[in-house]
Amino acid sequence: MNVPCVRVSTDEGEATRRALADRDLVDQSYEITVHEGTLYIPVTDASAVEDEYEVVSFDVESRETQTMPADILGFEPTYERLGDVVILDEDDAERASRIADAIAESDLRAETVVNRASKVKGELRVRDWDILVDDTDEELSADDQRLSAPSTETVHREYGCEFLLDIAEVYFSPRLATERHRVVQQVTEDERVFDMFAGVGPFVIPMAKRGAEVVGCDLNAAAVEYLRENVRRNGVEERVTARQGDVRDVADDYEGWADRIVMNLPHSADDFLDTAVRLAGEECVLHYYDIQHEDDPFGPGIEAIREAAEPQYDVRVDTERVVRSYAPHEYNVCVDVTLTAR
């Protein structure tokens, strides 16, 4: 049957398959096929595949489908995958429990199923979780299981990078993978990049892999420990400096240093614009994330940037991008601007 497939050389096949699988784009109902030295990977949504991949229509064989949660429940549940952790966002505890049980019974790869128990809160941007399924301690005795904490630590893979993290200790959103990749693709070798709210390194590490020198700062000590571990895992120790603390204090050591700055703290990034200006070099690209009403999603952020940067810098707006819907009538947006010293 002719279905949309990513066409790629066999040498790049496994890396491509993993990148697509990390975004749940591999269509498991069809076989991955090799034809005349080329690999064809069936995908569920051709429009969601990154432009760097070639999507074609190709005749592939159907395969015996896996048992998925929807097959058990009779409806399609909503969930996110983060490594071996499956994340639910259900207000009804009984419904959440039904979905979690179905996930455990299905062929979906999952060791832990959690339900959001709070919004992101506090300066460290963490949230509470209800653990609904935890298969990580299967081999422990009953007494040991009662004493052990459920595992919310997992390894997430994204565009060829690997991130160890604990969702109970740090903030991480797999939904932002495409947006992170968009920004990372702009980075050139030997740039100096400062990520002001780096978390476990989803911007830092791929930027370093592209040859940039990167400083990642975060107030959350646990996040910085994971960042350092992820730097080691991805082999970019020579190009990354991890700093723990309030970026307003850390910036004293990097004034005028940055060619590029990432400000992914959308609820309060405007409070740190003065610090970003201190970090900026003669010419600096700023990726500023914000949450605003749909009536004017970009104006307030651009105005705040101009107020902080002018007259020291000329401000050129390069990109205005809606990243995703955040709440009714509100958008999570990114404004890319170039600051040029006068």
Tens digits of residue pLDDT in 225-270: 999 999 999 999 999 999 999 999 999 999 999 999 999 999 899 9
Where does the pLDDT of residue 65 fall: very low under 50, low under 70, confident under 90, or very high at 90 and above?
low
pLDDT for residue 170: 94
What's 82's domain CATH number? 3.30.300.110
- Residues 282, 174 share a domain: yes
Confidence bin at 24 (pLDDT 50/70/90): confident
- The answer to whether residues 187 and 235 belong to one domain is yes
Identify the weakest region by mean pLDDT among 55-59, 142-146, 177-181: 142-146
238: CATH: 3.40.50.150
Q: Tell me what the pLDDT averaged over the chain comes to.
A: 90
The answer to the question of residue 148 being in a domain is no
CB atoms under 10 Å from CB of 282, counted, come to 10
When comparing pLDDT for 52 and 339, which is higher? 339
Domain-embedded: residue 152: no
For the beta sheet containing 129-134, the strands, ordered from the edge strand earlier in sequence to the opposite edge, are 80-82, 85-88, 112-116, 129-134
Is the CB of residue 201 less than 8 Å from the CB of residue 164? no
| Cβ-based neighbours of 123, under 8 Å, separated by 6 or more | 219
Residue 219 lies in a domain: yes
Q: Are residues 283 and 313 in the same domain?
A: yes
Statement to judge: residues 38 and 124 lie in one domain: no
The verdict on residue 157 lying in a domain is no
What pLDDT sits at residue 232? Answer: 96
pTM exceeding 0.95:
no
Q: Is residue 44 in some structural domain?
A: yes
Residues 204 and 239 sit within 8 Å (Cβ to Cβ): no
Same domain, 22 and 98: no
For position 143, what pLDDT does the model report? 38
With bands split at pLDDT 50, 70 and 90, how would you rate the model's confidence at 66? Answer: confident
Confidence of residue 185 (pLDDT cuts 50, 70, 90): very high
pLDDT of residue 109: 79
Domain that holds residue 116: 69-142
Q: Is residue 151 part of a domain?
A: no
Of 59, 84, 105, which residue constitutes the final position of a domain? 59
pLDDT-wise least confident of 17-26, 202-211, 298-307 = 17-26
Q: Does 123 lie in the same domain as 251?
A: no
Choose the final residue of a domain: 20, 40, 59.
Answer: 59
Whether residue 206 has pLDDT greater than 90: yes
Q: Is residue 231 part of a domain?
A: yes
Residues 211 and 268 in one domain: yes
Residues 204 and 127 placed together within one structural domain of the fold: no
Number of structural domains found in the chain: 3
Tokens 């096949």 -> residue: 13
pLDDT at 30: 87
- Whether residues 28 and 89 fall in one domain: no
Beta carbons of 111 and 136 less than 8 angstroms apart: yes
Q: Is the pLDDT of residue 175 over 90?
A: no
**271, pLDDT greater than 80:** yes
pLDDT value, residue 136 = 61
Question: Do residues 192 and 312 both lie within one domain?
Answer: yes
Verify that 278 and 199 share a domain, yes or no.
Answer: yes
Of 35-44, 48-57, 148-157, 177-186, the least confident: 148-157
Secondary structure (H, E, C), the chain? CEEEEEEEEHHHHHHHHHHHHHCCCECCCECCEEECCEEEEEECCHHHCCCCCEEEEEECCECCCCCCHHHHHCCCCCCEEECCEEEECCCCHHHHHHHHHHHHHCCCCCCEEEEECCCCECCCCECCEEEEEECCCCCCCHHHHHHCCCCCEEEEEECCEEEEEECCCCCCCHHHHHHHHHHHCCCCCCCEEEECCCCCCCCHHHHHHCCCEEEEEECCHHHHHHHHHHHHHCCCHHHEEEEECCHHHHHHHCCCCEEEEEECCCCCHHHHHHHHHHHEEEEEEEEEEEEEECCCCCHHHHHHHHHHHCCCEEEEEEEEEEEEEEECCEEEEEEEEEEEEC
Identify the domain boundary among 11, 31, 59. Answer: 59
Query: Per the domain annotation, does 169 fall within a domain?
Result: yes
CATH number at residue 15: 3.30.70.2580
Question: Is residue 235 located within the same domain as residue 327?
Answer: yes
Percent above pLDDT 70 for the chain = 95
Average pLDDT over residues 100-114: 89
Residue pair 41/5 in contact (Cβ under 8 Å)? The answer is yes
Which residue carries 């039904």 as its tokens? 98
